[in-house]
Amino acid sequence: AQKVTQAQTEISVVEKEDVTLDCVYETRDTTYYLFWYKQPPSGELVFLIRRNSFDEQNEISGRYSWNFQKSTSSFNFTITASQVVDSAVYFCALKYGNKLVFGAGTILRVKS
Amino acid sequence: KAGVTQTPRYLIKTRGQQVTLSCSPISGHRSVSWYQQTPGQGLQFLFEYFSETQRNKGNFPGRFSGRQFSNSRSEMNVSTLELGDSALYLCASSLLGAGLAGLGYEQYFGPGTRLTVT
């Protein structure tokens, strides 16, 4: 069965600190996609990044970067130089078929 | 391009009533999925529609149903409401539906409808 685990319930950092959000997934599919979404207080889920199961190349996009490792089934997400506006709930999700399976989410609080 | 819109944004209903929620996807998107978000269960997949056909269904009772129209707009209906149905209902649209061709397309979410059942 597909499952996504975000062990960190809540993280608090001070502005400008780097923060890494952990995500571990389980799937028997060989083709799958992983996503990170952000949910600010307004409630709308905002798409951040996507990675497919064929490509383990890690990338950086602005202040965001991610580390995908199939060997450990992990898809961690890092925010560099965090800002107060980054405060939100972050969800890691696994997609198979057209169904997203979400982790429980990590609350990120960035203090000024 | 306009995003996913959901109406109404807030709704208060009484146990036993039924409710219909509406979702308009991004123009050109043919797949619409619905999710329920509660503090206890988190985000859970309800169902997905593509070209007016239900393609996927989550583990929810038959009181939860939906449909999609020819213009890709979708409605979700919950009958005989229970207190536990209080939740944020999120609609998401994507360019393609199920299958490997659509696997990589991200889903764009609407602001949600917050349903409170009293």
pLDDT confidence of residue B1: 65
Please tell me the distance in Å from A56's CA to the nearest CA on chain B.
Answer: 15
Q: Which two tokens stand for residue B75?
A: 């409605």
pLDDT tens digits for range B89-98: 999 998 876 5
Q: Do A100 and B45 touch (CB under 8 A)?
A: yes
Q: Tell me if B67 sits within 8 A of B75, measured CB to CB.
A: yes
Of the candidates A42, A50, A95, which has its C-beta nearest B111's C-beta?
A42
CB atoms within 10 A of CB B55: 19
Q: Do A99 and B56 touch (CB under 8 A)?
A: yes
Please tell me the distance in Å from B14's CA to the nearest CA on chain A.
Answer: 23
DSSP E strands, B9-99? 10-13, 19-24, 31-38, 42-50, 53-57, 64-68, 74-78, 87-94
Q: Do B55 and A43 touch (CB under 8 A)?
A: no
Does the pLDDT of residue A43 top 90, yes or no? no
Higher per-residue pLDDT: A52 or A19: A19
Q: Which two tokens stand for residue B43?
A: 């985000």
Burial class (CB in 10 A: 0-12, 13-18, 19+), B90: buried
Nearest to B91 by CA among B39, B21, B23: B23
A60 CB-near residues (< 8 Å, 6+ apart): none
Query: A102: which chain B residues are within 8 Å (Cβ-Cβ)?
Result: 42-44
Nearest to A48 by CA among B107, B101, B92: B107
CB atoms within 10 A of CB B79: 14
pLDDT tens digits for range B11-49: 999 999 999 999 999 999 988 999 999 999 999 999 999
Mapped onto helix, strand or coil, the DSSP state of residue B106 is coil
Beta-bridge mates of residue A24: A5, A74
Q: Check if B98 contacts A (Cβ < 8 Å).
A: yes
pLDDT confidence of residue B99: 55
